[in-house]
Chains A and B, each alone.
Chain A
Amino acid sequence: MGQFGIGQPVRRKEDVRLLTGKGRYTDDVHLEDQQWAVFVRSPHANAKILSIDTSAALESPGVTHVLTGADLRDGGVKPISADMNFTSREGKPMFKPERRIMPVDFARYMGEPLVLVLAESLEEAKAAAELVALDFEELPCVTATARAAEPDAPVIYSEHGSNVSVHWENRAPDEIDAIIAAAPHKVTVDLVNNRLIVAPMEPRCAVAAYDPADDRITLWSPTQGVRPAQASFAQLLGIPKEKLRVISDDVGGGFGIRSKRYPETAAVAFAARKTGRPVKWRGDRSETFVSDHHGRDQVNHCVMGLDANGRILALRLETIVNVGAYCGDNGPRLPIDGGGRIIPTGYDIEKFYFSVKPVYTNTVPTDTYRGAGRPEANYIMERLMDAAAQECGLTRDEIRRRNLIPLSKLPYRTQMNFVYDSGDFVGVMEETLKAADWDGFQARRAESEKRGLLRGIGIASFVEQAGGRPTEEMRVKLGADGAATVFAGTFSHGQGHETVYAQMVNDYLGVPFERIKFVQGDTDTTPPGGVGTFGSRSSMMGGVAVRRSCGQIILKGKRIAAHLMQANAEDVIFEEGLFRVGVSSVTIEEVARAAADPSKLPEGEKPGLDESNLFEREADLMNFPNGCHIVEVEVDPELGTVQIVKYTAVDDCGVVLNPLLVHGQVYGGVAQGIGQALTEDAVYDESGQLLTGSFMDYGMPRAHHFSHIEAHFDETQPCKTNEIGVKGAGEAGACGAPPAFVSAVCDALKPYGVKHIDMPLTPERVWRAIHSAKPRAA
């Protein structure tokens, strides 16, 4: 309905505020009498802490307090313990080392916070931090993923005797191995899913104040949902959650890592209560590099057997995932529940074996990052499909056509017990092939060749899961003046919720778009069942709850309207902002005004039009966004550089609520996916120092790395498990871009017999692939 309704390319309400510098971020919070916090971090990757001497720091000018892990422990601060319990096939539980907010015995990664210095100014705190004397005994360390799983690698936690947390398997491998051994075609690929630094534009921040009058701490911090942050930080501090108010103002990017429990945040909240004065910590960019959780970091060994016609018979996957020094909130869960459960993505494969070994290393923990396991899973499947095409002598589109789950097989129950309710995987691929002019590629390749460039085209067909945690609460309130307010349990940190929820309320209730306000990010006003924004969940989880809240408003509105029009509530029809019975009608604005006036209400009706809905989904009824991305590249064979020249995406994210916003999600996801495939790589050296510790060394992709991205939607298959038909959109690009890009570069290098290059495809790697194929030039 109308120009601001669902499906319209409405411009973002929040942009004028954000683009004119009127956003309010945590760093904009300045409290009277605040102390500045600086953390002293471990310079070593693995070390026994022999002593911590804070006396010189305490005497430094302006210093108010210096706190160590012992102070936190004695003050009742609990260690972070991850809420997951995977077991091996024999029933052996996983090993989860204790993660103290600031450890007192061992430092397990370079950058781990050990001491908190508080001073009147940031400069004084920094100067004093240099005076904290730490004495260590350095221990052997391990940082590399595959290395950590080797039997002779240094073992970080001797009490466990191995760096492998658990060997998780979905089943016994024997039957699968037998099928693969007997298969007419067999392919093997070994992959590295490179480690990434997430680097949201806003660095991490925390400001906390303690009010002794009601014994309550208020914590300002960028999160992805204030309710989970409230529950988890209250638990860490050992206080009831009512005693902790969490406020997240505007947040400059989350990408998954902002929703995690960080030791610094807990320490700041503790310090505010302990010292009785507000505390402010603003992480700087260098701290972001070493202490924000990193993303990805897997190695995969994958084997697949196919029949003579190129139909997949069975699949065997082994993954080692580097979870860093501790078990992050989601670390080991990502390849198992996040990625593992979506395997075999869109392909019709009944037999597969999947094993995961999460390994501890002396690196900062890895955790959710845009896609959280699904980009890794799709990368595995797509690299396998390319290898299979070559092995079976089929084109890359044909091998996929033969193995994708056809529309006729839906709903389709996967081996991991998901039910794909909707999705025309083959149809989406055909559309993409057409939009990308796949068939006309040879002419373009010939044209590039004239300019001395190798042109390649690559394809990826992907499926992911979206929806995340199965509950969400949203509240919609109509004031006496007819203006609406949405109180969100989800948390927009760049996604544009202020706009899209307003479109929905405008559509459902007929309240003018500009009269819809948006409130989020404060546990004093966020609905108690609020969860937050991650896992591409807000459109479905928040969206359904908004729709149902609006439905509740309409129901009550009908009763009030009926009373005003002296009719039966059952006879009232609500349409486009009007309650009608026969020829008489009242507007929703009039009903809202009446709702505030007890004299105008039917017997027993409570005043107000203020409804909240706690949407509870059956846990496995996620939605399954899918799509196909095709990339074309030109490689300069002399330099090894790769330039994207054409990018075509068709995404099925169900019903598109706002194409502008969803395009933004696709572009952003693609940019992050291309970043992973082309330039980004977090590298630790053997002594555990982060070599890529700044943007001078860590390759963030730039605008010139991209071409125009042509993004289309396939809206023919709305999601059947939620009443608005939406599927997630946030993580699709990060799933499609890396495999499509690698496929394209390998296609360009086909004349050299190159089958695979590990990400990131740096110029030197590409050059080496070319030159190791040819006899080396002098």
Chain B
Amino acid sequence: MRNFDYHRPTDIAAAARVLAEREDAKLLAGGMTLIPTLKQRLATPTDLVDLGRIAALKGVRREGNGLVIGAMTCHADVATSPVVREAIPALASLAGQIGDPAVRHRGTIGGSVANADPAADYPAGVVGLDATVITDRREIGADDFFTGLFETALEPGEIITAIRFLLPKRAAYQKFRHPASGYAVAGVMVADFGDAVRVAVTGAGPSAFRLDAMEKALGASFTPGALEGLNPDALELLTDMHASAEYRAHLVGVLARRAVAAIA
């Protein structure tokens, strides 16, 4: 790890100021991804801006037909929050399946979404639950947010302040854990909003994506059987040491059917 200046602002404006003024300042949430990167000297920022003392970034609240989760809310708090469990149990379940207890108590929803790891769970939740990413500058719709492998629509220095989820009639998340890391080899969020069904996949492609064919089929008949033969095309999926694209395509099909079965 190289030396850097450490800042711990108590409001968002102050954090934004440091980001704007310093040469290569980076935001620090729970440090679950950032700190290992620094230790391996893969990133060498001049400044770290710790968001941990900004109260406005923490917590969960209901807002009309939405659920707003502050960027600095850790996964364990989302998993155990009575508000989340009541509003979107599938989201609480998703958060509870991330990593291990230590990771869930440090890792944050804002850090996860900003990092846009192709194998992270939250992106499936954000896209599947038609969420809006709220930043210090604007609001970004889920379908526009994840733009590629570790890439998002965030501009340099933009700070995620919260994520607003829409409340579905019913939703379920199914995940196939990576045997080593615990991340998603594939994860599928199925959400039924009454007038529309969303099916979002993580882990299988460079970033979270929706499956139109499955959404249409479920719109017509919300049953596992409706998904037969609708596995995604393996040609568009990731292949790595742990799972081939062909296997991932198969997993997505199984997970989607199981998600539907769980709530049909």
**Shortest beta-carbon distance, A39 to chain B, in Å?**
15
- 11 pairs of residues in contact across A and B, judged by CB atoms under 8 Å: A640-B247, A695-B181, A696-B181, A697-B242, A699-B179, A699-B180, A763-B247, A764-B243, A764-B247, A768-B247, A778-B229
Bound-state Cα–Cα, A762 to B242, Å: 8
The 5 closest A-B pairs by CB, nearest first: A699-B180, A699-B179, A696-B181, A764-B247, A679-B179
Nearest Cβ on chain B to A136's Cβ, whole angstroms: 21
Given A699-B179, A699-B180, check contact A123 B242 (CB 8 Å). Answer: no
Interface: B241 (CB within 8 A): yes
Q: Which residues of B contact A (CB under 8 A)?
A: 1-3, 40-41, 176, 179-181, 183, 229, 241-244, 247, 250-251, 254
In the assembled complex, which residues on chain A have CB atoms less than 8 Å from the CB atom of B250? 767
Cβ of B247 and Cβ of A697 under 8 Å apart? no
In Å, the complex CA distance between A700 and B244 comes to 21
Q: Is the CB of B181 within 8 A of A697?
A: yes
A765, closest chain B residue (CB): B247
Assembled-state Cα–Cα distance A406/B179 (Å): 42
Work out how many contacts link A and B, with CB atoms closer than 8 A.
45
What is the chain B residue whose CB lies nearest that of A122? B1
Check if A84 is an interface residue, CB within 8 A of chain B: no
Interface string of A706-750 (1 = CB under 8 A from B): 000000000000000000000000000000000000000000000
Cβ B179 vs Cβ A762 within 8 A:
yes
CA distance A767 to B3 in the complex (A): 48
A696 in contact with B254 (CB, 8 Å)? no
Is the CB–CB distance between A123 and B1 below 8 Å? yes
A699 to B179 alpha-carbon distance, docked (Å) = 6
Q: Is the CB of A697 within 8 A of B241?
A: yes
- Tell me the nearest residue of chain A to B250, going by C-beta: A767
CA distance A698 to B182 in the complex (A): 11
Do A691 and B243 touch (CB < 8 A)?
Answer: no
Q: Hey, which chain A residues are within 8 Å of B179, CB to CB?
A: 678-679, 699, 762-763
Q: Which residues does chain B contribute within 8 Å of A683, judged by CB atoms? A: 241
The listed residue with most B CB atoms (<10 A of its CB), out of A130, A640, A698, A763, is A763
**Which of these, A126, A127, A700, contacts B180 with CB under 8 Å?**
A700
Q: Give complex CA distance A518, B243 in Å.
A: 50
- Is B243's CB under 8 angstroms from A692's CB? no
A679 to B242, CA, bound (A): 10
CA distance A123 to B176 in the complex (A): 39
Q: Which residues of B have CB within 8 Å of A309?
A: none
CA distance A764 to B247 in the complex (A): 7
Please pick, from A696, A699, A767, the residue contacting B247 in the complex, using a CB distance under 8 A. Answer: A767
A416 close to chain B: CB less than 8 A: no
**Distance in angstroms between the alpha carbons of A698 and B241 in the assembled complex:** 10
Contact (Cβ within 8 A) B2 A123: yes
Bound complex: CA of A679 vs CA of B244, how far in Å? 16
A174 to chain B, nearest CB (A): 43
Contacting pair B180 A697 (CB below 8 A): yes
Measured between beta carbons, the chain B residues less than 8 angstroms from A695 are 180-181
Residue of B at shortest CB range from A764?
Answer: B247
| Residue from B179, B181, B243 with most neighbouring chain A CB atoms (10 Å) | B179
Distance between B103 CB and nearest chain A CB, rounded to angstroms: 12
Taking A697-B181, A762-B179, A762-B242 as given, write out 14 further A-B residue pairs in contact, using a Cβ cutoff of 8 Å, ordered by the A residue number. Answer: A130-B41, A638-B254, A639-B254, A679-B179, A691-B241, A692-B241, A695-B180, A695-B181, A696-B180, A696-B183, A699-B180, A763-B176, A763-B179, A764-B242
Task: Identify the closest chain A residue to B41 (Cβ).
Answer: A126
In the complex, chain B residues whose CB is within 8 Å of the CB of A778: 229
Query: Is A286's CB within 8 Å of the partner chain B?
Result: yes
Asked if A127 and B2 sit within 8 Å, CB to CB, the answer is yes
| Closest chain A residue, CB of each to CB of B257 | A638
Q: Give every chain B residue within 8 A of A698 (Cβ-Cβ).
A: 180
Q: How far does the alpha carbon of A700 sit from the alpha carbon of B45 in the complex, in Å?
A: 32
In the bound assembly, the distance between CA atoms of A99 and B61 in angstroms comes to: 64
Q: Mark A682-694, 1 if CB is under 8 A from B, else 0.
A: 0100000001100
Residue contact A679 to B247, C-beta cutoff 8 Å: no
The residue of chain B having its C-beta at the shortest distance from the C-beta of A704 within the complex is B177
Asked whether, in the complex, the Cβ of A639 is within 8 Å of the Cβ of B181, the reply is no
Residue of B nearest to A678 (CB): B179
> In angstroms, how far is the closest chain A Cβ from the Cβ of B87?
29
Assembly CA distance A342 to B242 (angstroms): 35
Specify the chain A residue showing the minimal Cβ separation from B244: A764
A127 to chain B: which residues have CB within 8 Å?
2
- Cβ of B226 to closest chain A Cβ, rounded Å: 15
Contacts of A767 in B (CB 8 A): 247, 250
A695→B247 CA distance, assembly (Å): 22
Interface residues of A in 649-702 (CB under 8 A from B): 678-679, 683, 691-692, 695-700
A679: chain B residues at CB < 8 Å are 179-180
Whether A286 pairs with B180 at a CB distance below 8 angstroms is: no
